[in-house]
Every structure is written in C-alpha cells, then in structure tokens.
A and B are shown apart, each in its own frame.
Chain A
C-alpha cells in the first residue's frame, strides 16, 4: 500500500481496514499523531488530508485518497509553522499529548479562515479534548498564529 505522508511517498503492508493512525504509528514510524480514544471522540490523532482535519483513528487506511500531513510535516526548512510558533510563544502545552491534534486542527482552521472568531475556534476545536485544560492558551495561540501567518504571507 502506498501513501504520501508529509511530502514523502511511503510504502507499507497493511490490511485496508486498519485505521490510518495505526498504519502511521506502527508501520510508517510516524508517532506524531497520538492514540487517545479510537472512536474519533478526542482528536489526539488528528491529521490533515486535502485541507480537512481528519481523525485518523477512525479512517481505514484503504479509504485514504489524498496526501496526509501530520504534525511532523508542519515545519518546513527547519522553520516552525506559524501555528507551532504561536504554541511555543504562548507556552500552550502542559502534558502535550493532545497538542499534536490540537495544532493540526488549528492549522486546518487557519487554512480555511484566516482570521477566525471565537465562535469559529469553538466550532473547529470542539472535537479536540485536552485533559490538562489548556483551552485559554489554545484560543490565544490560534489568534496569534493568525497574525503571524498574515505577517509571513
């Protein structure tokens, strides 16, 4: 089976019903996306396919049609993506386990809406659970990322 992940073509041997998450983590060595629930209820496994935030724990790898971007492919040429930079600046993470998924959901949101309102943030990020309660800083960081992104564009 072939997939494009973070700009590289990779090949692995998987049953088509295996969720993308486990193909990435156990077969392709991409441990950035995390396992949290297995039923698309927590968002820790979020990756982006064709601009859409997708819960990779519930998407059979055989159904993947587009290129997959994970947290590991977000930085380019050694430079953090504006969303990652904002997360760093705002010191968002505590345990950090959900943050790969949070960052990918925020990345997809900002690709679609360059200057999101609080309501946009609520709608886009409601599927990403954080047990450490970093939500206030996530909200601040998304707004900061929006301005960083505009400045870089």
Chain B
C-alpha cells in the first residue's frame, strides 16, 4: 500500500501544475462545474448542451473529443461515447478537438498516479483514487497520455450524450403535446409512433437547450450498446487516405512565413562564438534570431519557405559550449551502471525479507544478471513543428500537442499576452509517443512569431534536429538476483533499477523555478507492480545523479524498460529452476485470475509447448501496464538472411473493450514499436553529442520485417484498462526470450542488433 507521502511525491509534477495555474482548492470548487467553453464558439443556428456537444438547427451534430488524436483512434472512441447515449451513428457526427479548457480535465491520469497496484480494491486505494480524480478536475489537467483517455471519458461523455437526449425528447414532447415517455429516438430523429410524427434533433435543439439538464441520467446497460463494444469505422480515416491537411505541418494561414531552428547539440550549452551574417544573406531568408529558452539555446531562422530556412540554418557559423557531463556513450552508461551496482536505493516494493532470504542462500541456488537499455528517440513520422501568429495583442498557436493547457500558459507568457488572448489550436499529430507532451516546438514558434510583425510563421524542424535534441527515453541499467527454491520457483527476487529522474528533467525544462526532487516511480514502473507472488520480492529505485541528458515520457514510459528487465529475468529464473517459463507464470500468478487467463489464452493461441522444427523458437513475456494485462508470444526463425520474426500472438485483458478494432490495432502498433526499439534502436553519444541523425542510423521495423499478428481481447477484470501503450512493454522481452530459446544465449543489452542480424 502506498503511503500518503509517496502519493504526494508521485503526483509532484501535477502538484506543480496547480501552483503555476493559481487554481484554488476545495470541495466547493470540485463540485462546481467548469463553464462550458463552447458557449462563445457557436455558429449561427447552433446550440450547446454541455462541453461535449453542439447541435445545429440543420441537425448537424458536433461532438468535442478533447483528447489529442495521435493515431491511437481516440477521437473515434470518445465520439462513440456521446453517440451511444444520444442514439446516433458515428457517420452522422462531426468530431472536433476543442479549444484548451479546464472543462476537459483528465481525471483518470491522476487516479493512475495514486500509486496503488492496479488490482488493489481496498477502501484506501479507492478513496485515494477518488481524491486524485477530484484533483484532476481542480487542476483542469487537459492532457493526453498514460493510456487514460477512454477510461476518463467513459462516464462523463456518455452522461453528456444521455442528458442531451433527454432534453431533446422533452422539447419534442412539448412541441407535440404528448408525454415524453411515448417518444423514441432513431439516429438523430425523435419519433411519436402513435401519430406518425417525427422531428429532428436540430429542429428542437434550441428549445431543448433552454431546459434544465436532468438531475439524474441512467446510462445504457452494456448489453444494450449499439456502437460501443463493436469495431467502428474511424472518424479520421477518410481524411487520412485522401491527404487532407489535418496535421500541424499542414497548417496554412494567409501571408504565412516559414522557419526552422538550430539548437545547441550540447545539452545546456550556449553558442560561444557565432556569425549569422552569411546565412542571413541567403536567398529567401527574412531574419535569423537567437533563441534562449529553458529547453536550450540556439537560433531561429525565418524565411519565405522551409527549404530556404533549412539551408540557412545549416550555414550559420557557430561554435558551441563544452559539455559538463561525460563525453562518450560508454562513460554515460558506466555512470548509470555504477548507480545500479552501488547507488543509494529506495525500495518501491518490499515483500517478505529479501536480505534474510539471500543471507543463507546456497551459492548454486542464486542467479545474478545485469541488464541495460539505451536512450531512445520517439521519432514520430511528423517532425516537430508548430505555427504561431502574434497580431494585435492576440497569440494563436497551431500546435500538434498533448498538453494544450500547458502550451497556452507557456506561450502566452513568452508572447507577453494574457492567457485569454492566447488561442491554442490542437491539430492531429503524425505520431507523438510522448514527444508532444513537451513544449519546445511551441515555445520556439512563439519566439519567432514575435519577430514577424504579425505574420504567422510555421516552424518545422529537420529530422536531424528532431532526433538529436531529445528529450529521450531514459537509458537504464538493472541489477538483479534471485534465489531459486527446491521446487524450482523463486524464493527471493531482488531488483535494482537505475535511471535518471525523468520528472526532475521535465521540471528543469518547464517549471524551472520550482525545486525538483522525490521519487520517480517511472524508474521501476513495470517491475515493482507486476501480479507475481514471490515470498521475498524487492524492487528498488536508484536515481542517477548529475546527468543532464534531457529525458521524458516515451510510449509506455518506465514499462518500456522494466518490461524487458523483469520478463527476461523471469525467463532466466525459470531456466535456472528447470521450469517451463509459461508454467512458472501460471504458478506465480495463481492469485490473479485475470493474469492467469491471459497467460493461458496466449499459450493456447500460440501452441506453446508444441514441438517446433529445427531453427525455430518461441519466447513469452507478460506486462501489466496502464490497467491492462498483456501477454505476448513471438515465434522466430533462423534464416540465411538473419533472424526472421514469423508470428506474434497477443492476449490482452482490458476489462471492457470499448472498440475491439481499435484495441487490436493498438496492440499490434505497440508491439511493432517495442520490437523496433528492441531490434535496432539506440541514441548514443560521442563528444557529448548525439551520434544518430536520421532513419538511416535510427531505423524502425519495415514491412518486410513485420511478423503476422493474432490478437485476443479478454474482458474478465472489473476495472477498465488502457490500450495505446500496453502492447509495447512485453515485445522486447518476448523477442529476447525467443532468441535465448533459439541460441541458448542471453541477450541482456538492447538493441539486439549489437549481437544478432535480423532478416
């Protein structure tokens, strides 16, 4: 059970957000609904019922899906919440993202941050989750992350649709002068069967919007769902197959300029000598301006077109300051490894008495291993970009971003205009994977917009700039030991995981004046909170001090590291104990039926235990992350061209599958993302600068490397889990364990391409 102190530390960042936002705290504040941000945005003939719904007199129904669409399909599922209760099909709806507003707070993100194990239903756990959700409302935390969006919107957005439907029916009842109970709805129309009369939602919307919202709404039973629980056609698909201008980089405004940035490749360094005169004179260049920000120092180039800006940025003659951290990758990784071996540890899980259990352990019953993973870039397909315009005291920012409220705070501050004169337009994102939770692209665009006399400027980074400046997924080293019992099962497991404090790194770029400290639960996320029962089980966090490499959230965050560490080491324990790795999981997860069902399902699907031809092997891994329980088995083959990934089977327990089609794609997407990193990705350093620069040396899985996939979705657990990140953590260990099964050799360091050739 988490102490209140731990909870406070874990929600440190969000606590800081409260301070910066100057939001009052109290029960009254929580109960009072936020103003409806749509009130001031209505078109002619349009009315709004709540922050999620607008209806026009022409029966145009617009749903606000206030979480950012970065590929995970969330706009479709959120729209389906409202549509389900409003009784309309998705093709009848327009879906918009909405402006940043406190009304669109994400309660689930903080509930997850409460720090209890996902299966903990104790009174304390539930109470604290409730308090955290309330805190999310008070802070107005409009954020997309942590695989929380669907869980967060599930009740609120269905209630929004249900309440509006009741009001529309009441308005129609008054018009027809019949009791409301005699009316039914059918895809945007209200019908009075007895008199064969009907009226559209749009025709009674104005009347309905004047009625008081119902004090109580009853939501449909799951068995009555028409849309939820079934695969829906995505609302963004047509735009995406026709090349429609939906991304940040596609924003076009009248009289728009283009630009780019060239920031210091040495973290924290400034230019010690620079000459921009030649670059300034290049064709198409309007202006070159210095940039000083909490994210770094460098230059912004404003030009007539992006290409001219790129060429001029390259032509800036600049010498950068020296690094104040280890120069080589080996030295940086050694710093992390030293911490894992000897650094001060803080136990995040501590069952039984690990020290006693190892004290009298016979040497031949103890195994030890050290694992490591590198820094990683997010490398979304759409490079960082943002468009800004500062004109007549109003700042407009068109930002593909995961944190619109934060973008508004920081950009309005830079531009020197009030928050209510700052409009943040959230575009679709060409991938994000956590990278768009940072603010640098928006800060730089705002800085350049101050230099253009009111003209909008679109600032696009080169891929090289995107890949080399970070922030990165933190590198990590884990040092593990286990004592194997006479029955082959582990008696004691001791895991020490070392990495930089990601929260402190994030704070150094955002809330710079505030102190950063405390625990970073992401360091052990995916190791400390897995549904294994082992009598003596300790997982410790070790923070690596004084390493200023910028690090941040990367799809599945700490689980991307610990999934690999924990599940590869479990495979080693099974081998040492002479037990089949899947059979060992069945025994260690016997107290968690949801986990056991996942293990059994994926074993059955993949034919685990069936004999395989020479040169083929399977590997298994399991991670509970973001409230979903995911087991993966991968089959690989040794071919003349290298290791071929043949097939991956995935079983995932999500509690309630809101859209099985989207969940399936998120599982395969997560697996491909995790496998890509495991196979070949690393950000490394030389002379204190990033070595990699583009997809030739930081590649990802290609179509000819992709395995076949088979996904099973289970709905046994009583609490709903997320989808967007859940497929990532078990992918790397499943592959590494398959390689062990094939080659009899452990692969304890990523990427695997250091040791293995992939076909």
Give chain A's interface residues, CB within 8 Å of chain B: 15, 18-19, 22, 25-27, 29, 31-39, 41-42, 44, 70-72, 74-75, 80, 84, 87-88, 91-100, 103, 121-123, 125-126, 128-139
Contact = CB atoms under 8 A, between A and B. Distances in A.
A45 B240 CA distance: 14
B380 A26 contact: no
B71 A96 contact: yes
Interface stretch (B17-25, B216-224, B426-434, B617-625): B426-434
A152 B736 CA distance: 47
B669 A134 contact: yes
28 contacts: A15-B283, A19-B307, A22-B307, A31-B245, A31-B250, A33-B243, A34-B382, A37-B695, A41-B696, A42-B381, A42-B695, A70-B243, A72-B242, A80-B241, A87-B241, A88-B241, A91-B234, A94-B71, A97-B247, A97-B381, A97-B431, A121-B703, A125-B703, A125-B704, A130-B381, A133-B672, A133-B676, A134-B669
Interface string B673-706: 1001000000000000000001110011111101
B428 A129 contact: no
A96 B460 contact: no
B508 interface: no
Q: Which of A27, A133, A135 is the most central at the interface, judged by chain B CB atoms within 10 Å of its CB?
A: A133
B72 A94 contact: yes
B306 A26 contact: yes
Contacts of A135: 672, 701-703, 706
Interface of B: 69-73, 231, 233-234, 236-243, 245-247, 249-250, 252, 258, 283-284, 304-307, 310, 379-383, 428-433, 460, 462-463, 661, 665, 668-673, 676, 694-696, 699-704, 706, 708-709
Contacts of B252: 29, 31
A19 B305 CA distance: 11
Contacts of B250: 31
B430 A34 contact: yes
A98 to B, nearest CB: 5
Nearest to A71: B243
Top 8 nearest A-B pairs (CB, nearest first) are A133-B672, A97-B430, A95-B71, A32-B243, A96-B240, A71-B243, A94-B71, A122-B704
Given A38-B463, A133-B706, A75 B242 contact: yes
Contact of A136 (B72, B234, B432, B706): B706
Nearest to B283: A15
A128 B381 CA distance: 11
Contact of A133 (B246, B460, B669): B669
Contacts of B238: 88
Contacts of B668: 133, 136
A29 to B, nearest CB: 7
**Residue among A41, A93, A103, A123 with the most chain B CB within 10 A?**
A93
Contacts of B462: 38
B665 A131 contact: no
A91 B69 CA distance: 15
Given A27-B305, A35-B249, A133-B668, A93 B241 contact: yes
B147 to A, nearest CB: 15
A96 to B, nearest CB: 3
Contacts of A25: 306
Contacts of B661: 91
A126 B243 contact: no
A93 B240 contact: yes
A75 B241 CA distance: 10
Nearest to B251: A31
Given A18-B305, A35-B249, A94-B73, A126 B379 contact: no
Contacts of A103: 241
Contact of B305 (A26, A36, A130): A26
Contacts of B306: 22, 25-26, 35
B511 to A, nearest CB: 29
Contacts of A42: 381, 695
B307 A37 contact: no
B703 A36 contact: no
Nearest to A39: B694
B381 A41 contact: no
Contact of A126 (B249, B676, B702): B702
A129 B234 CA distance: 22
Contacts of A139: 703
A74 B310 CA distance: 30
Contacts of B699: 41, 129
A69 to B, nearest CB: 11
A115 B70 CA distance: 33
Contact of B237 (A33, A35, A91, A126): A91
A34 to B, nearest CB: 7
A124 to B, nearest CB: 9
Contacts of A36: 381-383, 463, 695
A88 B238 CA distance: 7
A128 B307 contact: no
